[in-house]
Structure 1
Amino acid sequence: MNQQQQDLMIDLVSHRISKDCFLESLFKRGDIPEDYLRAELETALEIKDADSLECLLIFGAVFGFTQGCADVLCRLLVEDWHFSHENIARELKVFRYLGAVDYLFKTALTCYPYIASEHALGVKCIYALHEIGTDKAREKLQLLAKVDNAEMSECARRLLARV
């Protein structure tokens, strides 16, 4: 997203413009191109644009993510140049994307200094793994149930007990 598009997104979330006005300003005829969000996420990943990524995640939350976004969201989850890890983990929970298991596990064990709580991101990843629910996801939850972080290990154990 360029600066003008980012400014439009800020206007939208600040309720200075409507969704329809936002879409008409961004796209001819107001229709979102089929692969728009995935392509924009790929571009943000390629050029490491944290501001664009943040706006694109808002765009996806407002207008919906397509299934095609899941893979690029996984790749973005393990990057360290942005500040949107918790938002991405939350979206991957909704997707229940089978390909996210290893990314979520790796991220659950990663500490980003910008996140105030050392376990908040890990817990979001644990919930996303639980939602995926495959054998591989349960294996990762079993490993997370043994980590040296009381809140994360307790969360993983509690969710495993529900299966």
Structure 2
Amino acid sequence: MKNMKLIFMACLLVLLAACGSKPAPEEDNKSGAPKVENDMPAEAAGVKAEVKLEDGSEEAKITLKNSSDKEIGTGVAFTLEKWEDGKWNKVNPDQMFTEQMIMVKAGENYEQPIELKDQEAGTYRVAKTFFEEEKKHEVAAVFEKK
């Protein structure tokens, strides 16, 4: 009887260990796209970041969609990063922006061009900061330049 309990416990442990395992790397790359970790949300406080980039274009457009019921404030500053060697690296860390406050009413969108002419093909992330009732939020969208 004691051996039966040990065998049962061993089988149970094997089953539980299998349930918690990560997918095999080949499963992560079935789509052929690089495995990218985006530790910034695409949406916060009812505001969503989306990027559009047409094939062959040297300019992407980031859109902040304000689906909240509050007005938000943002500026022209953004962070552009490229996914390299398993981490995000800032593309132009010394880039400077003029300080402006752009108000985006509830239910409206704000669209901003992002110049990519000097950037090589790869996976990029553009992040924008916005304020909602004095609370600072940051959203980001990932896109592929071919």
**TM exceeding 0.5:** no
Using the size of structure 2 for normalisation, the TM-score is: 0.23
Structure having greater relative contact order (Cα 8 Å, sep ≥ 6): 2
Greater share of strand: 2
Using the size of structure 1 for normalisation, the TM-score is: 0.22
